[in-house]
Amino acid sequence: MMAVIIFVVSILTLLQFFVSYSRSLIAESRGHELSEQAREICGLTARTAAGHQFRRLSELIALCPESGGDGSTLLVVSAYFHLLSFLRRLSAWSIPSAAAWIESERGGCTYAAAVVLDRRIAYNRTIMAQQTSHLI
Amino acid sequence: MVGPVNYSIWLAVVLVELVSLVCLLWRRAFSQHFTLLLYLCSCLATDIGNFSILKTSGYDSNAYFYFYFYAESMLTICLYFVLMNLYSHVFSDMGVGKYIRAGAMLILAGTAGISYYMVATSASRFVTHFVVELGQNLYFVGVVLTYLLWGAMAKLRENRTRLMQLVLSMGVYVSLSAGSYALNNLYPNHGFWQYYFPITSMWLPASWAYTFLKVPEDARLATASVLVPNQ
């Protein structure tokens, strides 16, 4: 009985801590100003991003070599995005009013992914520039 | 017997812990967060011990079982020291560090005592049952303490990003571990656990490595942006 109670309470706190941790990563990425080129590639305007662009951005990120340490951010944000997508499907018939909040959260995940992509593009450009200067 | 999957997981765990240790030393955060360094070193020592016993005695041996769960209990106690360190950082301005340390020690002793009492009064009286019960209870008290700390941080409008991420990642880890131990207590004889526990143990060092590598010491984040939706 005790183990069941601990299991249920732990799952609830795990969800809360995980959501807060993911939100802290997203809030942190909001402080990053996207470059003009990254916005163009991602199809984003100002600081808003739509949830449906997340998958495309993830595919683009997979094409860029990692710039060091951002893979774990993407993993957590990706897990949060999938949790939100699951909740969206669930809330469609149970709590329709939650849809707007879930969509804005998914947008936050997309923005965080765009920041990762932007950093990777910048990193790859630097590497390319270094290689070109060595060749010349 | 030990297979290539066990080897790969063990290597991945050790690598993540080493990377986290290097990040902590590289950012010169060890003086501020000495307990994190202590925890990572204990993890590495435990991994080496675990692996040598696993290799000589095998996964199904009693030696491995005892070593694994007692070492886990020691690591959980180290985790309490990390938690105390986080508490003292959050309440540094109030000068209540002494009381926090005393309180945490009392809770730790109380949890061990209650776990022993629960097993001693049960019909089976297995020592092996005690270590699983102790692990489950220690992690659960960790969940409660981390939850209280996070609540206090929200109330005090703590805005240090690094501290916030350290506490939240700790919350994720202790909740995950408490839930897993509870499930292990309910369904103990499943081969899945030999892969599951080492994989989940990578979360804490990986998140610490990220925090120390990417989040500067002076970074600030409004607590409201983490708590309140759309702010």
Number of structural domains in chain A:
1
Chain B residues with CB-CB distance to A20 below 8 A: 150, 168, 171, 226-227
pLDDT the model gives residue B231: 44
**Residue ranges of chain A whose pLDDT lies below 70:** 45-47, 67-69, 135-136
pLDDT the model gives residue B59: 75
Chain A residues with CB-CB distance to B215 below 8 A: 28
Strand partners, B220: B160
Among chain A residues, CA nearest to B186: A3
Which DSSP string corresponds to A10-72? HHHHHHHHHHHHHHHHHHHHHTSPPPHHHHHHHT-BTTB--GGGHHHHHHHHHHSPP-SSHHH
pLDDT digits (tens, 9 = 90+) for B3-31: 788 889 999 999 999 999 999 999 888 88
Chain A residues with CB-CB distance to B118 below 8 A: 2
| Minimal Cβ distance to B178: which of A6, A23, A27 | A6
What would the CATH number be for the domain defined by B4-215?
1.20.1070
**Residue ranges of chain B whose pLDDT lies below 50:** 230-231
How far is it, in rounded angstroms, from Cα A68 to Cα A120? 9
> Who's near B86: CB < 8 A, 6+ residues apart?
B149, B163, B166, B167, B170
Chain A residues with CB-CB distance to B226 below 8 A: 20, 23-24, 27
Test A10 with B140 for CB contact under 8 angstroms: yes
Q: To the nearest whole angstrom, how far is the Cα of B135 from the nearest Cα of chain A?
A: 12
pLDDT the model gives residue B126: 57
Residue B47's Cα: distance from chain center in Å? Answer: 14
How far is it, in rounded angstroms, from Cα B146 to Cα B169? 10
Test A23 with B186 for CB contact under 8 angstroms: no
Q: Which domain holds residue A39?
A: 2-135
Test A20 with B168 for CB contact under 8 angstroms: yes
Helix axes B193-200, B4-26, angle to 10 degrees: 10
Which pairs count as long-range contacts for B116-121, CB under 8 Å and 24+ apart, including other chains?
B118/A2
pLDDT the model gives residue B176: 95
* Reported pTM: 0.89
